[in-house]
Amino acid sequence: MKAIITGAGIGGMCAAIALEKMGIETVVFEAVKEMKPVGAAISVWPNGVKCLNALGLKAQLRALSGNMAYMAYQDFASGATLTRFSMEPLVRQVGEYPSPVARAELQAMLIESYGRERVSFGKRVTQVTQHGNGVTATFDDGTLAHGDLLVAADGTHSVIRHSVLGETVERRYAGYVNWNGLVEIDASLAPDDQWTTFVGEGKRVSLMPVSGNRFYFFFDVPLPKGLAEDRSTLKADLRRYFQGWAQPVQRLIEAIDPATTNRVEIHDIEPFSRFVNGRIALLGDAAHSTTPDIGQGGCAAMEDALVLASSLAAHSLGIEDALLRYEARRVSRTRDLVLKARKRCDITHGKDPQATAVWYQELRQETGERVLAGMCETIEGGPLG
Ligand code: FAD
């Protein structure tokens, strides 16, 4: 059995590694010549870590991960701690550590593990057709590739999604802009073993340790879509949006490098229930695009990969049947994640200012139990428990 995989992002590479582990031949086609991930880092939560462990990447992932031993929320203006608690109860309950990692390093780890020379870069799929008992992908250079099935891991702007759904779905603007990047760890910004988040005014500023003495930072600001902001105005924009915020936030703005800071208008897609058409399967953001508010988009792509590989390996009624079983195991899980992230997004970013004010109050009473229980529920809903 030969699978064509389009897209060498987190989803495509995890799928390629997982399928090969099950003895399925794969070929990977990636549109760009050089990978340039849109986010600087990513928190791989234990459900994702378990998937990477199952792919044989436990030691490599551990080496890239920051130590997120604690979690804290700070008041935006005074900088005072609203709540701070250990992540240890979560680790004990779910049996794995959360792993914040630089995204480029995660991506490189996946590609190297599969074999960089085996990924065909600069090959953009434009069309997919099914015929008899196979699939043909057409590329923008006019070449073709044939396989028994095709895994469309071509991201949130997927061109293959239409061949599965028979319609075009629109991305939905979530109402906020996110700036993210990496900065050297500095104790005057936040402790080096803690995920620290300043909250207020429906905005947030977050610092999460990754390996190599770096913080992954991000700023969220509710804003209209399509503002003409760019790197040249980045620091001035952030100074304006975070005027009156605590000293560590001001220091962070001065410390960041606009040349390596990403600006992203955050979107998701209304969940849909069809991931498969015949021998074509959507995977990762192509199948379910979420806001990053619970840090689960990439983890869900890892879960998809494992479930896809096990569905193909474990069933004897043919490829179409196995893909439908993959779909059945993933649709409701990923719908839940997208909707949970959307709810969190709205509360964090002041969609209903009253609800956001209640959340700020709740944080002052938070002992960690409620927050960690919510995270454990999300994590344990994954295919590896
Ligand atoms: P992508 O990473 O988008 O990869 C798709 C690949 O397909 C790309 O390399 C692209 O070039 C290629 N491609 C596109 N079109 C074609 C084509 N026609 N032919 C061939 N190749 C094509 N998730 C988490 O789990 N934790 C987090 O903390 C987290 N934080 C995030 C923060 C931000 C700001 C954002 C925006 C997202 C975050 N996510 C997080 C979500 C995560 O980044 C995505 O869910 C994940 O990258 C999806 O992987 P993917 O492989 O499906 O898609």
pLDDT tens-digit readout, 16-41: 999 999 999 999 999 999 987 667 99
Instruction: Tell me the best of 13, 42, 120 to mutate to test the pocket of ligand 1, counting ligand atoms within 8 Å of each CB and taking the most.
Output: 42
Across the range 153-175, mean pLDDT stands at 97
Closest CA to 26 of 150, 127, 110, 158: 150
The C-alpha atoms of residue 208 and residue 189 are separated, in whole angstroms, by 11
Closest CA to 30 of 139, 109, 121, 104: 121
Q: What is the pLDDT of residue 132?
A: 83
Residue 179, pLDDT above cutoff 90: yes
Q: What is the pLDDT of residue 46?
A: 98
Strand pairing report for 144-147 and 280-282: unpaired
Q: What is the pLDDT of residue 39?
A: 77
Ligand 1 atom closest to the CA of 43, numbered from 1: 28
φ, ψ for residue 44, nearest 5 deg: -90, 110
Q: What is the pLDDT of residue 38?
A: 66
46 within ligand 1 shell (Cβ under 6 A): no
Contact yes or no for 264/223 (Cβ under 8 A):
no
Across the range 324-332, mean pLDDT stands at 98
Interval between CA 350 and ligand 1 midpoint (Å):
26
Alpha helices (runs of H) in the chain, residue ranges in sequence order: 10-21, 46-54, 58-64, 88-94, 103-114, 161-165, 234-241, 247-255, 297-314, 319-348, 353-365, 369-380
30 within ligand 1 shell (Cβ under 6 A): yes
Across the range 60-81, mean pLDDT stands at 98
Interval between CA 295 and ligand 1 midpoint (Å):
12
Residue 223 is classified by DSSP as -
Interval between CA 10 and ligand 1 midpoint (Å):
6
Across the range 340-354, mean pLDDT stands at 98
Residue 284, pLDDT above cutoff 70: yes
Ligand 1 atom closest to the CA of 287, numbered from 1: 52
The protein residue with its alpha carbon nearest to ligand 1, atom 42, reads 298
Structure ipTM over 0.95, yes or no: yes
Ligand 1 atom closest to the CA of 12, numbered from 1: 51
- The pLDDT tens digits of the residues spanning 222-275 come to 999 999 998 999 999 999 999 999 999 999 999 999 999 999 999 999 999 999
Contact yes or no for 262/179 (Cβ under 8 A):
yes
pLDDT band at 200 (very low <50, low <70, confident <90, very high): very high
Report the sign of the C-alpha dihedral through residues 60, 65, 67, 72, in that order.
negative
Average pLDDT along the chain: 97
299 within ligand 1 shell (Cβ under 6 A): yes
Interval between CA 287 and ligand 1 midpoint (Å):
11
